[in-house]
Structure 1
């Protein structure tokens, strides 16, 4: 069986695993098998040639994260209080790792197949769970290396002690993110069951990511800007900010005096990861047993009456074949919880990110005065953040846990493959983007008044145009025909980067005409005409 260099590094920590009661030899074998299967896993069941591409897809994704990490590295080079710059850096890093972990690796922790296959062969639950966590940690470590590699280079100017502390901090953060998330899943598994459990897991993933993004705003507000310099004054509430725990350790290197609150954060940065590991190990048997609740796939019976979605399908899909795939896709989107895990967090971010930006711009002059100042501004253009975040849907619709069933496309009497893609596109807009956009629009109308409606109509047209071009310039794949990979987040980020150009053009023109309601109306009509005239060209599929 093929061995891996990373497993040789893992062998250095064999004693720790054994002290924790883990059968290291069996655990290593499980991890080794999983790494081999990761390399063999093909991308598409309909195209065997794609298997070769998938072997290197994770490493290709690392390049995307390395570029993102390069953008954050200058924070470390700033000549300011180390607590300030490292708090900002670690906040960014935690959000990145958490979003990747929840979207790409939650399914590994919540996997129930391993227990049925492996535990029945005599492997204890602690060893199986250690293999799960180690498998995840290997990938998260590689992601961390990609993101923080440029940070390490930027930190060379501060000497080897800084680099050593930086690397240890990243490792502790990785462990903390994995274990804390797993413990949160444990609580949900303990409290809920059936369909309610699965709904709560999806809701938790959204709330957890939003909590860290909002927390980033609080971290940024922990510092004041005085005389062209950042100033840090310890406050009791800083103890609630995990990024600041690890940043506080860098005060030890700078020789700054340690106040009581900073000392507490120093202690928390070490104690909390260790305690979380101990607690998790104690709860592993209960956690694995509760995972069986996820095996309940029963759905509430529904009457055979025509649903609202089907009525909408008749309204927006005049072609019968297109309507069939519209109903098919929107029905799968309603039931595929793996897809929801991948896409709902980014959709929620798209809906709430503009409001998070509004919060970050608030300077404490009174909420009423602030809202009035927003109404006379052009900050409604923040809605284009929703346009960017929604683009991941178009490239994620090709994935499914049941991708093996894609052979059905070969035997269906499909007259025009274009109808498959247009039905898929309309279903994604109706089922995923429209509800999120409506939620965001309600908040915008409350803040900016009734005049925001026409601007929101322009933004929604921008979503459709950008999504059409995202479809046009990406590889065309039939819906739900590909297997999920551990690189979806990198692919989603790359998609958003590519969409920025189109969004920039649409938003730029909107900015120019936004002060004149007549010009804005003309621009809206122009966007609608562009959609109508380019629709057939965009979805024209060459055989």
Structure 2
């Protein structure tokens, strides 16, 4: 195993660990093995740029190699915000909002498995290792990575803020980064503890999956509230103190800059500053008291009991016969539907994107309401913001290729299916019907309520555009039969096609807009889309095995 530099730094604190009853030599060996194993796992941040593994590089830590993405974000986005003025309550709320979002997203996607790991207890409980050592190894394992993520995000704004605002800025900033990381880890662990307390077996695993998805969506939606904490007066952001702002965490950590650098003794800033310190410390105390219960309840994850639904005749066979023209298509439609419903890893990677697709149109709509009155918005053509709901369709289609059970893909070549077209058509129709259409219909219904019945033809055009856009996305993306590749190679060589597909989606919206400028133009465009959809769905899937990654 490799000798990691982080462990060499940790060696300097050996006496401190041993003073608290931690078996340092054993803890160090546990961490060394965990860090070595991490080198063979592709993180979510790097997953979209991944490629097939080079055996000679298997032990290189791919997570650390992805730090340049966080560093780029900190340099391009966060540093300019810190340096643009000295309105700390606005600037630092925005900076900490982005930073908390990035760190929490990484924690959920890449380190929930560390928080919820039961292998340590299974393996090490039979060895002369005390519980305190196991807990310490788990916490330090997560802390090492959070340190690198936070440092990569914060180094550029730290340097820029120190140059612009002085040394006091850097002191406050560094202290708050520590409290932010503590708060993120502890609150996430406590949320998992609540879930573990009330559920068990297979249901528990599903609930944890939905909690991880929900956390991602809450952070995305909650981040939108940061910009709404302020009013624009004479082109300056003015803070308006309201009761609900006490629940916006980034503002807590922005307040000490106003308090100590500007000397603003506003009562609200004092309360926010106290919350930035006390809430993380109280959370740590609660977590320390609940840790034994947390570890006990983790054993529920090894319980595979739970009720299974009986498999009977599939419902909606009449609709399925209308959607899928052949028996082969219907078979792969049902197969894909079962996979996307039961594969937890697939749901964890895809559902947050679908959730973002759901909220993005409304975020854009609310932003337009900030600058226009309701009557003007409802009578305008801004209902075309519906197309924002389709932004993540290519990303979801990419994930359709991957599965934890990818080795079972040999079944495709032994099945009595002569052509690949039924496989692709059935699978794409499944994700359209099961994932895209319900989401798009929900968005459309809300937009009809806002803009009136006049946009119903536009909604039909929108649905037809999405069906055609799905085919275009399939043609532009790399071809592979569904669920036939490991997640470690997800997104290989598909960043550029995704960017092109975003432009194509914008062109669909522009064409729709142009059709509204002509009398009956929407209906003519609708008939054209129906014809193009019929032709494209019939001809686009004539693909041989030579053009597909097996």
Q: What TM-score do you get using the length of structure 1 for normalisation?
A: 0.85
> Which SS does the other structure have where 1:300 is aligned?
coil
Find the aligned partners of 1:453 and 1:9 in 2 and give their Cα distance. Answer: 64
Task: For residues 349-386 of structure 1, give each alpha carbon's deviation from its aligned partner in whole angstroms, at most 9, with x where no partner exists.
Answer: 21123223434444599xxx73x443212232222222
Structure 1 segment 399-418 matched on structure 2, within 5 A: 399-409=402-412, 411-412=414-415, 415-418=418-421
Extract structure 1 runs of 4+ deviating beyond 6 A: 487-495
Measured in 1, the distance between the counterparts of 2:347 and 2:402 equals 11
1:353 aligns with 2:360: yes
Q: How many residues are paired up?
A: 535
TM-score by length of 2: 0.84
Does the CA-based 8 Å contact 2:39-2:62 persist in structure 1?
A: no
Q: How does 1:227-246 map to 2 (within 5 A)?
A: 227-246=234-253
Deviation string 1:430-449 (CA, Å, 9 cap, x unpaired) is: 22222222222222222222
Where does residue 520 of structure 1 map in the other structure?
A: 522
Q: What is the CA–CA distance in structure 2 between the aligned matches of 1:121 and 1:410, rounded to whole Å?
A: 47
Structure 1 pair 101–478 and aligned structure 2 pair: CA distance change class (3 A): farther
Alignment of 1:459-474 (within 5 A): 459-474=462-477
Deviation at 1:281, TM superposition (A): 2.7
SS of alignment partner, residue 111 of structure 1: coil
- Which moves more between the two structures, 212-221 or 57-66? 57-66
Pick from 420, 425, 429 the counterpart of residue 426 of structure 1.
429
2:170 & 2:495 partners in 1: Cα distance?
28
2:505 to 500, 503, 506: 503
Alignment of 1:127-206 (within 5 A): 127-158=133-164, 159-206=166-213
Instruction: Point out the more displaced range, 32-41 or 356-365.
Output: 356-365
Work out the CA distance in 2 between the residues paired with 1:20 and 1:276.
20
Gaps of 5+ in 2: none
Q: How does 1:301-380 map to 2 (within 5 A)?
A: 301-308=308-315, 312-363=319-370, 370=374, 372-380=375-383
Tell me the equivalent position of 2:287.
280
Identify the residue that residue 262 of structure 1 maps to in structure 2: 269
Deviation of 1:331 (Å): 0.6
Aligned pair in 2 of structure 1 residues 408, 107: CA closer, same or farther (>3 Å)? farther
CA RMSD of aligned residues (A): 3.6
Report the alpha carbon displacement of residue 65 of structure 1 after superposing the two structures with TM: 4.2
Which segment is superposed worse, 428-437 or 508-517? Answer: 508-517
Distance 1:271 1:330, change over 3 A: same
User: 2:94 is matched with which residue?
Assistant: 88
Alpha-carbon offset, residue 143 of structure 1 = 3.4
Find the aligned partners of 1:258 and 1:211 in 2 and give their Cα distance: 32
Task: Output the CA distance in 2 between the equivalents of 1:13 and 1:515.
Answer: 71
Provide the C-alpha distance between the structure 2 equivalents of 1:61 and 1:471, rounded to a whole number of angstroms.
28
Distance 1:314 1:236, change over 3 A: closer
How far 1:242 sits from its partner (Å)?
A: 1.0
**Corresponding residue of 1:31:** 31
The 3 A distance-change label for structure 1 pair 35 and 257 is: same
Whole-Å Cα distance in 2 between the matches of residues 282 and 442 of structure 1? 47
Quick one: distance in 2 between partners of 1:119 and 1:517? 75
Residue 383 of structure 1 pairs with residue 390 of structure 2: no
* Structure-1 separation of matches of 2:362 and 2:329: 36
Tell me the CA shift for residue 79 of structure 1: 1.2
Cα 1:179–1:243, aligned 2, differ >3 Å: closer, same or farther?
Answer: same
**1:129 Cα deviation from its structure 2 partner:** 4.2
* 1:202-254: CA deviation from partner (whole Å, max 9, x where unpaired): 44334433433343333222222222222235445433221011111222553
Say if 1:310 and 1:327, in contact at 8 Å, map to a contact too. Answer: no
Residue-by-residue CA offset, 1:87-107 (whole Å, 9 max, x unaligned): 012112222333333234323
CA distance in 1, matches of 2:460, 2:16: 58
For 2:495 and 2:114, locate their aligned partners in 1 and report how far apart those are by CA, in whole Å. 21
Contact preservation (8 Å) 2:82, 2:160? yes
Contact 2:468 2:536 in 1 (8 A): no
For residue 282 of structure 1, report the CA deviation from its aligned partner.
2.5
In the aligned structure 2, how far is the partner of 1:246 from the partner of 1:209? Answer: 21
Q: What is the Cα deviation at residue 187 of structure 1?
A: 0.7
Question: Of 245, 251, 262, which aligns to 2:258?
Answer: 251
The offset of 1:37, in angstroms, is 1.9
Q: Secondary structure at the match of 1:224?
A: strand
Shift of 1:190: 0.8
Instruction: Deviation per CA, 1:111-130: give whole Å up to 9, x if none.
Output: 33443333343544444344
Q: Which of these residues, 189, 206, 215, is aligned with residue 208 of structure 1?
A: 215
Find the aligned partners of 2:386 and 2:232 in 1 and give their Cα distance. Answer: 29
- 1:52 and 1:210 map into 2 onto residues whose CA distance is 38
Deviations 1:301-355 (A, max 9, x none): 4444321266554433334334333222211111122222222222122112322
Q: Distance in 2 between matches of 1:163 and 1:59?
A: 25
- The runs of 5 or more residues in structure 1 that have no matched partner are none
> 1:225 aligns to what SS in structure 2?
strand
